[in-house]
Amino acid sequence: VIGVVIGKTDVRSFPDRKNIGNERYTFSFTIRDSPTYFINVQSWGREEYIRSLSESFRVGDCVTIENPLIQSKEAEREEKFNPVTPSGYKLLLSENHSVVKTSSCYDTDTRLLSLLHLPVKDPQDYYSLGDIVANGQSLHGRVLNVLAAVMAVSE
């Protein structure tokens, strides 16, 4: 699978249920290869493998993923922490079987660069900040998609 990385999480660790006292490490990212299709990729493993893999690319890089495991996603659980994707599947990377190679999008396919800035949500599924201010009380407790622009960044 070849695509541009459009999102990425930080490395996290969890207690290993099989080996008490040890930690398992994970991170995930989302790749896109067309305006319509994008998929979440998750990797679990030893700290050294996960940190090295995570540091090998960033958002905006093109990646080639070889030998991923394809799994059905558990929509309710998975989409709490990852972007909602149009696919019923996710890719799982294995330290022993999968390979992720990075390359310049210019070398791979310049069309992939244009996918980096496309929204992943339906354009009719957003609330503006004005809508939230005006209807805040009726929206209380709901999960919303917000479309906004950053005007300034400071300390």
> For the segment 12-23, what is each residue's pLDDT rounded down to a tens digit?
998 877 878 888
Write the CATH number for 77: 2.40.50.140
What is the per-residue DSSP string for 67-90?
Answer: SPEEEE--HHHHTTTS---SSSEE
- Give the H or E element holding residue 99: strand 99-103
Residue reference for tokens 């900040």: 129
Q: What's the pLDDT score for residue 109?
A: 66
Q: What's the pLDDT score for residue 86?
A: 81
CA–CA gap between residue 53 and residue 27 (Å, rounded): 9
145 is a domain residue: no
Which has more confidence, 149 or 99? 99
Q: What is the mean pLDDT of residues 22-30?
A: 91
- What is the reported pTM? 0.77
CA–CA gap between residue 12 and residue 23 (Å, rounded): 10
> For the segment 87-135, what is each residue's pLDDT rounded down to a tens digit?
889 999 988 899 999 876 665 667 777 777 777 777 677 788 888 888 8
78 is a domain residue: yes
152 is a domain residue: no
Q: What's the pLDDT score for residue 15?
A: 82
The answer to whether 57 touches 36, Cβ cutoff 8 Å, is no
124 is a domain residue: no
121 is a domain residue: no
> For the segment 59-90, what is each residue's pLDDT rounded down to a tens digit?
888 999 999 999 998 866 666 667 778 888 99
Q: What's the pLDDT score for residue 121?
A: 73
148 is a domain residue: no
Q: What is the mean pLDDT of residues 44-69?
A: 92
29 is a domain residue: yes
Total tally of structural domains belonging to the chain: 1
The pair of three-digit structure tokens given for residue 41, joined into one six-digit string: 């990729």
The stretches of the chain forming alpha helices (DSSP H) are: 47-55, 75-78, 105-108, 111-114, 129-139
Residue 140, pLDDT > 70, answer: yes
Q: What's the pLDDT score for residue 80?
A: 65
Domain of residue 87 covers: 2-115
Q: What's the pLDDT score for residue 108?
A: 60
Band (pLDDT 50/70/90 cuts) for residue 145 is confident
54 is a domain residue: yes
- Give the H or E element holding residue 103: strand 99-103
